[in-house]
Structure 1
Amino acid sequence: MTRAHLPGILAMAAIVVASNILVQFLFGQWLTWGAFTYPLAFLVTDVMNRVYGAPAARKVVIAGFVTGVICSLIGTQIVGEFGPLVTLRIALGSGLAFLTAQLLDVAIFDRLRQGRWWRAPLVSTLVGSSVDTAIFFTVAFSGALSFIEPANDVSWAGEALPLLGVGPVVPLWVSLAVADWLVKLSLALIALVPFRMIVSWAGTQRSLA
Structure 2
Amino acid sequence: MNAATKSSDSDCAADKGTDALTMRHLNGRHVADEGASASVQRPSGGFAVDARMETVEAVRSHPLYQEHLARLAELERDRAFCRHGIGHLLDTARIAWIFNLEYNLGFRKEVVYAAALMHDIGKDEQYERGIPHEEASARIAREILDDMGAAFDEAERDAIVTAIHEHRRLPEGASLLGTMLYDADKASRTCFACSMREDCSWSSEKMNLSVRV
TM-score, reference length from structure 1? 0.31
Which has the larger helix fraction?
Answer: 1
